[in-house]
Structure 1
Amino acid sequence: MKMKAAVMAEVGAPLHICEVELASPKANEVLVKIEATGVCHSDLNALYEETTPIPAILGHEGAGIVVEVGPNVKTVKVGDKVALSWVPFCGTCEFCQTGQVNLCESAFSPMFAGTLLDGTSRLSQNGKNIYHNSLLSTFAEYTVVPEMSCVKLPSDMPFAQASLIGCGVATGYGAAVRAAKVTPGSTVAVFGIGGVGVNAIQGARIAGASKIIACDLKEQNLEIAKSFGATHTVNVGEGDPVEALKSLTGGFGVHFAIDCTGNTNAASTAWQATRKGGTTVVIGAFNPKKELVLPAGGFHRVGKILKGSFYGDVHPFSDFPIIAQLYLDGKFQLDELVLSRIQLEEINRAFASFHDDGCVNVGRTVIEFGGK
């Protein structure tokens, strides 16, 4: 079938809106009509990443309607409303068998190769292959994805809000609820108040934390954090943030610290601000050339846990519907994360906003294709 898409033809260059071809789904694949897709900072990273296979269709936060299923598909049917997960899982590898589906071995090789799980592409233009991105490629009117990327949602879930669940929302929520395992009455510090950090705050609030401390350099972000459930704020650029966090927690430090920044200095600060026996979760991606430095003295005596978390340790098929229902019940804020709604033709404007330090970054620009 022919469809309209935004194609990355060159590293760092504006995307081209053009007509491309999409082949039918193969076994265990699903054809989805995209109704809404968020523009994530990770898409910007892919646009400027020299290793991104090109030409490619980016986009990994999407929601839509199932319009066709390939052979053997059992979990969704035509007409289902779905949110898309960019980490499908096989269910049979060592990690899937122990419940760590977010670490499934099957997804990573094709993800970096720009294909679907079988190592081939369903996208083309004038007979030449176009690469997939994160096995989803949602910057298009339609997409073919693995069945295990399609998570059915309630029929009354709006598409724009549903699209955000698949990345930043689930990652932040999972960082608090699944990775850190925040407990009722505990104290939590969240470093980096962006599209992931505010959802870590929401996850901590839903888990019953008594004190949630937002930590960031931007006063604007700290104010926004309060509207998502932060009870206190610390500007990490003013004074000693470790001492500030200890002063808010009786001198002990927080039970849980969640670092969403991708900055090794922030992660070290989060660790030092975590009390004895507490847990520090790192959700942001570090620059591999950087080093994470932690105090060595008395390391064994503090009994703390330092944990890296990929995709917030979520299980999409259980956690996506939970988040959707929390939203429908008025307990999880998603409306506030939709910063603006645009058409596909305006996508380069959304990318340009990432370079504007004055733009609000706590949320997403959402591309809509006409659905509700």
Structure 2
Amino acid sequence: MKMNAAVMTEIGEPLSIQQVELSEPKANEVLVKIKATGVCHSDLNSLNDPTTPTPTILGHEGAGIVEAVGANVTNVKVGDKVALSWVPYCGTCEFCVTGEVHLCESAFGPMFEGTLLDGTTRLSQNGERVYHNSLLSTFAEYSVVPEMSCIKLPDEMPLAQASLIGCGVATGYGAAVNAAGVTPGSTVAIFGIGGVGVNAIQGARIAGASKIIACDVKPANLDIAKQFGATHTINSSEVDVEAALKELTNGVGVHFAIDCSGHTVATESAWKSTRKGGTVVVVGAFNPEKTLNIPAGGFHRVGKVLKGSFYGNAKPFRDFPIIAQMYLDGKFKLDDLVLDRIALENINQAFDSFHDCNCVNVGRAVIEFNN
């Protein structure tokens, strides 16, 4: 079929709205009519990444309606509302069979090559290959995706909100609930209050934390953090964050610290601000040229855990429907994460906003399709 899509033609250049061809899904694939897709900062990273193959269709936060299914597909049927996961998993490797599906490596080779799981693409233009992004390419009217990327949602779930579940929402919520394992009555510090951080706050709130302390350098983000469940805020550019966190926890430090900032300095502060026996979870991606330094003296005596968390340790087929139902029950805030609703033709405006240091970054501009 022919469809409109926002095509990345050159590294770092604005996307171009063009008509491309999309072929039918294969046996283990699903054709989804995209109804909404968030514009994530990771899309900007891909746009500026010299390893991104071109031409490609970006976009990895999407939701829509199942239009057709391959012969072997059993998880969804035509007409289902689905949220899309950009990390499908194989179900048979060492990590999958032990329940750690977020660590499955099956998607990453094809992801870096710009293909689907079988190493080929369903996208073309004038007979030439067009590449996929994160096996989804949601900046288009339709998408062919792996079956394991399609998670059925309740019929009453609005799709603009649903589109956000598959990346920042699941990552932040999962960092608190899955990776950290926040417990009722515990104290939690969240470093970096962006699109992931506010959802880590929500996860900690839902898990029953007694104190949720948001740490950031932007006053506006700290104000927004309170709307999502933060009980206290710390502007880490104005005060000694470690001392402030100790003061809020009777001098012993927080039970859990979740770093969503991507800065090693924040992780080092998180470590020093966590009590003995506490847990530090790192969600943000570090600059590989940086070094993480934590005190070696007495390391064995403090009993702390430092761990990385990819995709919030999410199990999409379990976690996505839980988040959707909590939203429908009024327990999880998604409406406030939809910062703007735009047409595909205005996608470059959303990318431009990432360069505005005053722009609110705790949600997404969402592209909505009237296809």
TM range (shorter): over 0.9
Cα distance in structure 2, aligned partners of 1:249 and 1:283: 23
Q: What's 1:250 paired with?
A: 250
Show the counterpart of 2:133: 133
Name the amino acid aligned to 1:27: A
After superposition, residues 358-369 of structure 1 pair within 5 angstroms as 358-369=358-369
Inter-partner Cα distance in structure 1 for 2:226 and 2:239: 21
1:231 is matched with 231
Asked if residue 66 in structure 1 is aligned to residue 70 in structure 2, the reply is: no
Q: Identify the residue that residue 270 of structure 2 maps to in structure 1.
A: 270
Measured in 2, the distance between the counterparts of 1:289 and 1:52 equals: 20
Alignment of 1:195-234 (within 5 A): 195-234=195-234
Question: What is the correspondence of 1:112-123 to structure 2 with a 5 Å cutoff?
Answer: 112-123=112-123
Q: Distance in 2 between the 1:10 and 1:245 partners? A: 45
1:3-82 alignment, distance < 5 Å: 3-82=3-82
Mapped to 1, the partners of 2:130 and 2:286 lie a distance apart of 29
For 1:131 and 1:292, the matched residues in 2 are separated by: 35
Show the counterpart of 1:355. Answer: 355
- Give distance in 2, aligned partners of 1:117 and 1:25: 12
**What RMSD over aligned residues (CA atoms) do the two structures have, in Å?**
0.6
Q: In 1, distance between residues paired with 2:137 and 2:370?
A: 18
Aligned-residue offset at 1:46:
0.4
Q: Counterpart of 1:304?
A: 304
Q: TM-score, normalised by structure 1?
A: 0.99
Pairing 1:162–2:192 present: no
1:332 equivalenced with 2:332 (yes/no): yes
Q: Distance in 2 between matches of 1:290 and 1:357?
A: 23
- Match of 2:346? 346
1: CA distance, partners of 2:311 / 2:271: 20
Distance in 2 between residues matched to 1:91 and 1:332, nearest whole Å: 29
Corresponding residue for 2:85? 85
For 2:46 and 2:271, the matched residues in 1 are separated by 29
| 1:239 CA drift (Å) | 2.3
Structure 1: how far apart are the matches of 2:52 and 2:181?
A: 34
Counterpart of 1:349 in 2: which secondary structure?
helix
**CA displacement 1:101-132 (0-9 Å, x = unmatched):** 11112111111111000000000000000110
Deviation of the 1:238 alpha carbon:
1.3
Whether 2:161 is the aligned partner of 1:151: answer no
TM-score norm. by structure 2 comes to 0.99
Structure 2: any 5+ residue segments left out of the alignment?
none
- d(CA) in 1 for partners of 2:61, 2:294: 34
State the SS of the aligned residue for 1:124: strand
Structure 1 distance, partners of 2:263, 2:348, is: 27
After TM superposition, where is structure 1 displaced by more than 3 Å over at least 4 residues in a row?
A: none
Q: Distance in 2 between matches of 1:233 and 1:312?
A: 23
Q: Matches of 2:324 and 2:182 in 1, distance apart?
A: 20
Match of 1:291 in 2: 291
Q: What is the one-letter code of the residue matched to 1:297?
A: G
Q: Per the alignment, in what secondary structure is the counterpart of residue 361 of structure 2?
A: coil
Task: Return 5+ residue gaps in structure 1 as ranges.
Answer: none
Per-residue Cα deviation, 1:230-266 (whole angstroms, up to 9, x for no partner): 0000111112110110000000000000000110111
Rounded to whole Å, the distance in 2 between the matches of 1:370 and 1:278 is 48
- Which residue does the alignment assign to 1:103? 103
User: Percent identity between the aligned chains?
Assistant: 77
SS of 1:320's partner is helix
Q: Equivalent residue for 1:259? A: 259
- SS at 1:106 equivalent: coil
Quick one: which amino acid aligns to residue 307 of structure 2? Answer: K
Alignment coverage as a number of residue pairs: 371
SS of residue in 2 equivalent to 1:36? strand
Kindly provide the amino acid, as one letter, of the partner of residue 37 in structure 1: T
Q: Secondary structure in 1 aligned to 2:73?
A: coil
For residues 239 and 92 of structure 1, the distance between their equivalents in structure 2, rounded to whole angstroms, comes to 49
Cα deviation digits, residues 167-201 of structure 1 (max 9, x gap): 00000000000000000000000000000000000
State the SS of the aligned residue for 1:252: coil
Between the aligned partners of 1:8 and 1:267, the Cα distance in structure 2 is 34
Displacement of 1:358 in angstroms is: 1.2
* CA–CA separation in structure 2 for the residues paired with 1:164 and 1:271: 30
**Matched AA of 2:147:** E
Which letter does structure 1 place at the counterpart of 2:273? A
